[in-house]
A and B are shown apart, each in its own frame.
Chain A
Amino acid sequence: MSLRSYIITRILMTIPMLLVLVTLVFFILRVMPGDPVLAMMRPGTPKAYLNELRHEMGLDKPIMVQYVDYLWDLARGRLGTSLAPVRGRPVAKDLWAKFPATLELSLTSFLITIIVGVSTGAYAAYKRRSAADYTFRLYSIIIYAIPVFWLGLMFQLIFGVYLHWLPVAGRIDDLALAPKTITGMYLLDSVLTGNWPSFVNAAKHLILPSVTLGLYLSGIFTRLTRSNMLNSLRQDFVTAARARGISENRVVVRHALKNAFIPILTMMGLQFALLLAGAVLTESTFSWPGLGRFLVERIGYRDFPSIQGTVAFFAILVAVVSLLVDILYAYLDPRIRY
Chain B
Amino acid sequence: MNDWEQVGLIARFLRGRKWYGSEWYITVAGAFILFIVISSTLLAPLLAPYNPIKPAGGRFEEPGAGKTVIVVATGTTNITKPADLAGQKVAAKAHSTGSVRAEALKADVYPALSVKKALDSLAAGNVRAVLLTTQEAQKLLPAYQGALKTVGKPFGITFYMGTDNLGRDIWSRIIWGARGILLVAILAALFSALIGIPLGLISGYWGGTVDRVLSLIMDSIYAFPGLILAIAMAAMLGPGIVNIAVAISVVYIPTYFRITRGQVLSVKEELYVEAAHSLGATASTIIKAYIFPNVVPSIVVVFSLNIADAILTEAGLSFLGLGLPPPTPDWGFDLNKGRAYLPLGYWWPITFPGAMIALVALGFSLLGEGLGEILNPRLRES
Contacts and interface: CB of A to CB of B under 8 A. Distances in A.
A33 B237 contact: yes
Interface stretch (A16-24, A44-52, A89-97): A16-24
A281 B228 contact: no
A315 B277 CA distance: 43
B229 A311 contact: yes
Given A153-B354, A299-B235, A145 B224 contact: no
A281 B381 contact: no
Interface string B148-183: 000000000000000000000000000000000000
A276 B188 CA distance: 22
Interface in B326-382: 332, 335, 339, 342-343, 345, 347, 350-351, 354-355, 357-359, 361-362, 365-366, 369, 381
Interface residues of B, number: 50
Chain A, interface residues (CB within 8 Å), range? 35 or more
Nearest to B251: A277
Contacts of B216: 16-17, 20
Given A147-B316, A147-B354, A299-B235, A28 B347 contact: no
A184 B156 CA distance: 56
A150 B350 contact: yes
A29 B227 contact: no
Contacts of A270: 222-223
Interface in B223-253: 223-229, 231-233, 235-238, 250
B221 interface: yes
> Taking chain B's interface residues, is the majority helix, strand, or loop, or is none over half, making it mixed?
helix
> Taking chain A's interface residues, is the majority helix, strand, or loop, or is none over half, making it mixed?
helix
Interface string A140-154: 011011111110011
Nearest to A144: B365
Given A147-B315, A277-B225, A296-B231, 4 more contacts: A29-B232, A157-B342, A273-B226, A281-B319
Interface of B: 22, 216-217, 219-229, 231-233, 235-238, 250, 308, 312, 315-316, 319-322, 332, 335, 339, 342-343, 345, 347, 350-351, 354-355, 357-359, 361-362, 365-366, 369, 381
28 contacts: A21-B224, A28-B236, A29-B232, A32-B233, A32-B236, A34-B236, A39-B238, A134-B22, A141-B366, A145-B358, A145-B362, A147-B319, A149-B354, A150-B354, A153-B354, A157-B347, A227-B381, A273-B225, A273-B226, A277-B227, A284-B320, A295-B228, A296-B231, A299-B235, A308-B232, A311-B228, A314-B225, A314-B228
